[in-house]
Chain A
């Protein structure tokens, strides 16, 4: 067994049982690991109709074959479950060191089942696994939880945990590891909270073996060289972080402003990566095995928002920044810190506040709702306070913690929630960039940019020149990105490795590591298999082609100012072609021939 460990850990919190079982190697070969393996496990073992926050939902933590090796920037793990936010087979992907540690402890996957009666945490030291009482740490923030568990277990333990938001079953709660790294999206933190599982602490000292060490090293060095030679992977992300995107999206007329009422802000530069590098950056940070170092160790000295921590990423800076009408980067960073402390997804949090601001300005929410606070666009201090209220579940925070869809729906304006399938869309306006709109509309976990990042081609100049305003060719482009990312996520690689390498290099490293032959075609086919399996789940949950859409604002309300003034998204010109190229019928259902081709 090479690359994979061959063992899966299954913990039933209802019964208090712990089982070590052989990893299904047929599934491992056909789905690689991480996201793919998790999707297969949830599909096989969980009824799509279960209550996502009930005992019958399961929560899978899975590293990939690359995780724990020196495949460049490939130390990631995925959390896969039924989303409480929108019911999709969802999940989220995180870096840091937790994934590699779980692998060194000897596991390809950890499956959490059932529901504990009182708060517990899981302590894993190689093959010694214990369910322990967590009453004393329930209620603690992420950093305090992490440190408390290291005192109770091992000073070097790696800790994935929820904060108060996950305990309160916030539908936008994240799972955090190493304090600052987040499996942020789709409300995975609430599933952990519903199981009364506060944290997982792990120490691993085991071995990951390599099928062909010489070939693996050669393939890794080739991939490293390509990433380091790429201006983005090699130097750009390290110098400015992902927040460097603020200015290029703004100058392209695709930076959503004030809950997507516009797509250009004259003040954007104040929250961009250049400003961050000049003012708050302490040093770049890297996840396990990372050669890119996009992470930002930052410090805010402004007494109103003082603190030390990590972030923000571009999407976080956008959500708490211009989408909320705010150009104060200190406040933005403080909001980001609070999300990391309370365990909340920054994208959904900032977007939900932006939505609430629009509802407030329309008079649909008043100070009676907002605990007496002025929730107008641009009010930075109130924005930060709203994050805190959401984190601890206090006052108006109890409504914000449900996400923007439920909030807007409660006042009769669900159209003002800038979501797809109830999940907030990130920082790229589909009116200015057509292909990303198709990706949002078809994404299996709802509004999501990473699983189909066409921005790399449409805006950032990677690959052949492509017009962001064109709809032609975008269906095919989306599918390539969606399938590549599905397979890449399953390998344990970071998406940013693609700023330098592609499926061929990933498949080559995977072959040398595992000894199982993966061609580029097979790698992409696995991606399509995972995408279609996720789609089948969503259809069983009740999603239809009517849900493969964008908020009406993006289809009918033209951008008001800036370079994309007057534009809307033309989803109707792309969606039928997307279904056809996917091998789906007009109702968005995979055809029997397609399923047979993918061995589903």
Chain B
């Protein structure tokens, strides 16, 4: 069963626990350059949103990778995976990704891209506001539909 990361900007408070969890999971320490998720904050407007790899089906990073290091997962998976042993550090994926979600980490001399923590993304686990969810693809829109459904329920309960 395929899962995907869903972002709910309306729930994000800008706390960046996702970044800390990501850095800690991938290196056992806290370092901004190690994180694969980044939160953008508009302070005047009080708005924030986390961004990470979208695991594209037609992935620019895969298309430009000269060694096959960046590749699609096995059949049934919808993830874009990185085989570090094949990576030559050419950074073409960094240049190609339209979301800026493949980054070169100059400390570890490697590409930092979301690997969903092997199916248990720590950004999701540590988000205190459920602004990130890792859901079955069949359920990807369920919580949004639930919100709309709840509103309908309230409206029609009051009418009756």
A interface residues, Cβ below 8 angstroms from B: 68-70, 97, 104, 143, 146, 178-180, 204-210, 213, 217, 224, 228, 282-293, 295, 297-298, 308-310
Q: Give A97's nearest chain B residue, CB to CB.
A: B16
B residues 7-52 touching A (CB-CB < 8 Å): 10, 13-17, 20-21, 24, 28-34, 41, 43-47
User: Contact between B46 and A297 (Cβ–Cβ < 8 Å)?
Assistant: yes
User: Contact between A146 and B43 (Cβ–Cβ < 8 Å)?
Assistant: yes
Which chain A positions have C-beta within 8 A of B13? 283-286, 290, 293, 295
B67 on interface, CB distance cutoff 8 Å: no
Taking the closest CB of chain A, its distance from the CB of B20, in whole angstroms, is 4
Which chain B positions have C-beta within 8 A of A70? 17, 20-21, 24, 30, 126
B63 on interface, CB distance cutoff 8 Å: no
B143 on interface, CB distance cutoff 8 Å: no
CA distance A283 to B129 in the complex (A): 12
User: Contact between A208 and B30 (Cβ–Cβ < 8 Å)?
Assistant: yes
Q: Give A217's nearest chain B residue, CB to CB.
A: B24
User: Contact between B28 and A206 (Cβ–Cβ < 8 Å)?
Assistant: no
CA distance A228 to B47 in the complex (A): 23
CA distance A160 to B16 in the complex (A): 19
* Known A291-B17, A293-B13; contact A285-B28, beta-carbon cutoff 8 A: no
B68 on interface, CB distance cutoff 8 Å: no
Q: Which residue of B10, B29, B45, B47 is within 8 Å of A207 (Cβ)?
A: B29
CA distance A180 to B10 in the complex (A): 20
Which chain B positions have C-beta within 8 A of A178? 41, 43
CA distance A104 to B14 in the complex (A): 18
CA distance A70 to B19 in the complex (A): 9
Taking the closest CB of chain B, its distance from the CB of A180, in whole angstroms, is 7
CA distance A555 to B159 in the complex (A): 56
User: Contact between B29 and A287 (Cβ–Cβ < 8 Å)?
Assistant: no
CA distance A282 to B32 in the complex (A): 29
Q: Which residue of A209, A289, A310 is within 8 Å of B15 (Cβ)?
A: A289
B interface residues, Cβ below 8 angstroms from A: 10, 13-17, 20-21, 24, 28-34, 41, 43-47, 107, 126, 128-129
Q: Which residue of B17, B30, B44 is within 8 Å of A308 (Cβ)?
A: B44
5 pairs from A and B in contact (CB 8 Å cutoff): A69-B20, A69-B30, A178-B41, A207-B30, A283-B46
User: Contact between A68 and B30 (Cβ–Cβ < 8 Å)?
Assistant: yes
* Known A70-B21, A213-B24, A217-B24; contact A288-B31, beta-carbon cutoff 8 A: no
* Known A68-B30, A205-B32, A209-B29; contact A143-B44, beta-carbon cutoff 8 A: yes
Taking the closest CB of chain A, its distance from the CB of B124, in whole angstroms, is 14
CA distance A308 to B43 in the complex (A): 10
Which chain A positions have C-beta within 8 A of B29? 207-210, 213
Q: Which residue of B32, B43, B129 is within 8 Å of A293 (Cβ)?
A: B129
Which chain A positions have C-beta within 8 A of B107? 207
* Known A146-B43, A179-B44, A310-B46; contact A289-B17, beta-carbon cutoff 8 A: yes
Which chain A positions have C-beta within 8 A of B10? 283
User: Contact between A308 and B15 (Cβ–Cβ < 8 Å)?
Assistant: no
Taking the closest CB of chain B, its distance from the CB of A333, in whole angstroms, is 13
User: Contact between A228 and B128 (Cβ–Cβ < 8 Å)?
Assistant: yes
Q: Give A71's nearest chain B residue, CB to CB.
A: B20
Q: Which residue of A206, A224, A308 is within 8 Å of B45 (Cβ)?
A: A308
Which chain A positions have C-beta within 8 A of B14? 285-286
Taking the closest CB of chain B, its distance from the CB of A201, in whole angstroms, is 14
User: Contact between A286 and B24 (Cβ–Cβ < 8 Å)?
Assistant: no
Which chain A positions have C-beta within 8 A of B32? 104, 204-205
Taking the closest CB of chain B, its distance from the CB of A286, in whole angstroms, is 4
Which chain A positions have C-beta within 8 A of B45? 297, 308
Taking the closest CB of chain B, its distance from the CB of A292, in whole angstroms, is 8
Which chain B positions have C-beta within 8 A of A207? 29-31, 34, 107
CA distance A224 to B125 in the complex (A): 12
Q: Give A210's nearest chain B residue, CB to CB.
A: B29
Which chain A positions have C-beta within 8 A of B31? 104, 205-208
Q: A204-B32, A291-B17 are in contact. List 15 more A-B contacts (CB 8 A).
A: A70-B20, A70-B21, A104-B31, A104-B32, A207-B29, A207-B30, A213-B29, A285-B13, A286-B14, A286-B15, A289-B16, A291-B15, A293-B128, A297-B46, A308-B45
Which chain B positions have C-beta within 8 A of A97? 16
User: Contact between A288 and B16 (Cβ–Cβ < 8 Å)?
Assistant: yes
Which chain A positions have C-beta within 8 A of B17? 70, 289-291
Q: Give B107's nearest chain A residue, CB to CB.
A: A207
| A179, A286, A310 interface centre (most CB from chain B within 10 Å) | A286
Taking the closest CB of chain A, its distance from the CB of B147, in whole angstroms, is 15
CA distance A180 to B13 in the complex (A): 14
CA distance A282 to B31 in the complex (A): 31
Taking the closest CB of chain B, its distance from the CB of A343, in whole angstroms, is 15
CA distance A262 to B128 in the complex (A): 40
* Known A208-B31, A210-B29; contact A180-B126, beta-carbon cutoff 8 A: no
CA distance A349 to B28 in the complex (A): 45
CA distance A345 to B33 in the complex (A): 35
User: Contact between B33 and A205 (Cβ–Cβ < 8 Å)?
Assistant: yes
Q: Give A96's nearest chain B residue, CB to CB.
A: B43
Q: Give A234's nearest chain B residue, CB to CB.
A: B128
Which chain A positions have C-beta within 8 A of B20? 69-70, 289
CA distance A264 to B97 in the complex (A): 60
CA distance A209 to B20 in the complex (A): 12
Taking the closest CB of chain B, its distance from the CB of A231, in whole angstroms, is 15
CA distance A286 to B128 in the complex (A): 10
Taking the closest CB of chain B, its distance from the CB of A207, in whole angstroms, is 4
Taking the closest CB of chain B, its distance from the CB of A148, in whole angstroms, is 13
Q: Give A67's nearest chain B residue, CB to CB.
A: B30
Which chain A positions have C-beta within 8 A of B126? 70
CA distance A464 to B41 in the complex (A): 41
| B10, B16, B128 interface centre (most CB from chain A within 10 Å) | B128
Taking the closest CB of chain A, its distance from the CB of B19, in whole angstroms, is 9
Taking the closest CB of chain A, its distance from the CB of B117, in whole angstroms, is 13
